[in-house]
Structure 1
Amino acid sequence: MIATRLTAKSLRSIYQLKVTLKGMRPPIWRRILVASTTKLDDIHLILQIVMGWTNSHLHEFIQGRDRYGEPDEDFPSDAQDETRYRLDQILKQEKGKLIYLYDFGDGWEHEVVLEKILPFETSATLPICLKGRRACPPEDIGGIGGYMMFLDAISDPAHPEHEVMLEWIAEDIEGSFDPETFDLAEVNQLLQS
């Protein structure tokens, strides 16, 4: 009988993920580090923070034919309960992908790519956002088409919707909106609070 030596594989790693809002040019994206053992419901909350959403709508994760979401008695679904799955059960190797769909009305589809699997470090502050580009669209803007119309309206004083959109920004978004701005420090502060 030949004895085999088994090496203990780390039960957790650090996943470097790149999250890209699909269909946007130039792209809106974030690069984050999370523990591989993070449950999907917590990944949802992390994505809400790093992208800039307000957690005001339904969501689900999709990989192939498998769907994962928040159970809701009022809206029965064939999606599996996201609270029962860890990220490392869905994404198992580098370059693995899944879709994060937020707001079924506006249809914000995010591609989540596992860029790197890193050794776990107990001193690591997780989750953390490493980098990102461009502001997330405002909630309830009407998907990609509505967002593109919104950008046209706020950038052109002659646009018939210019004043209405600026008023909406002031009231609903509580200030101004710059589509090119991404505040990494603010995102990381929110992740740690």
Structure 2
Amino acid sequence: MTSQILQFKISLKHSKPPIWRRVQIPSDSTFEDLHLIIQIAMGWCDEHLHDFCIQKDKNSEPLIFGVPSEDDFGTVETKTEWDYQVIDFLAPKQKMIYTYDFGDNWEHEILFEKIIDPKPNQLYPVCTAGKRACPPEDIGGIWGYEHFLEAIKDPAHEAHEEMLEWVHDEFDPEAFDPKEVVFE
């Protein structure tokens, strides 16, 4: 049994109204574990590169966790995400940024809310709350998502049919049920 549980609020930056999830994860979770948890909780498909960035203060060099590559474009070394536990780098009330899909540049603010004791008979990780549907993959970032929403709401919009095809005629931006989030 896990000794402690970490609770995070994951908010998709620049989304209005806010798109967010609250997850509880085992305290021994690595950044790789958290990446997979975010993918499932948000509704992403894990088709793109990602990283975590922790900036302790304005004057310090950021810590970057992800999948290192020989083609690393950044000036800061990327630490191998499966080698480091989240709890070793963040304390409650601290934030970090998780970026998914460097083309669309989906930035998520990750707030480490608190440490709690595990509930008996509860499997972890678990998504306990959230609001609104995750944008579709490859829609063009937050600005492309705003265009997408305008198009699907307006049958007269020039991109209406194309955007509905993108999501197979099914998309409710307000829909989200944490009970439907299943971690395997």
TM-score, structure 1 as length reference? 0.85
1:12-161 → structure 2 map (5 Å cutoff): 12-64=3-55, 65-75=62-72, 78-92=77-91, 94-120=92-118, 123-161=121-159
RMSD: 1.7
Gaps of 5+ in 1: 1-10
> For residues 68 and 105 of structure 2, what CA distance do their matches in structure 1 show?
19
1: distance between equivalents of 2:27 and 2:89? 10
How much does 1:36 deviate? Answer: 1.6
CA deviation string 1:134-192 (max 9, x = no partner): 0000000000110000000000011111111112221xxxx5011000132221xx21x
Aligned residues: 175
**Secondary structure in 2 aligned to 1:182?**
coil
The question of whether the paired residues in 2 share the 8 Å contact of 1:12 and 1:37 is answered with no
- Corresponding residue for residue 178 of structure 2: 184
Q: Percent identity?
A: 49
AA of the residue aligned to 1:91: L
1:56 is paired with a residue whose SS is coil
Q: Is the 8 A contact 1:70 1:81 kept in 2?
A: yes
Q: Equivalents in 2 of 1:52, 1:184: separation in Å? A: 11
How far apart, in 2, do the equivalents of 1:116 and 1:186 lie? 24
- Per the TM alignment, residue 12 of structure 1 is displaced from its structure 2 partner at its CA by 4.4
Structure 1 counterpart of 2:166: 168
What are structure 2's unaligned runs of at least 5 residues? 56-61
Structure (1/2) with the larger helix percentage: 1
Structure 1 or 2, whichever has the larger Rg, is 1
* Equivalent-residue separation in structure 2 for 1:58 and 1:68 (angstroms): 12
Change (3 A) 1:63 1:104: same
Q: Give the TM-score taking structure 2 as reference length.
A: 0.89
1:19–1:113 Cα contact (<8 Å) kept: yes
Change (3 A) 1:12 1:89: farther
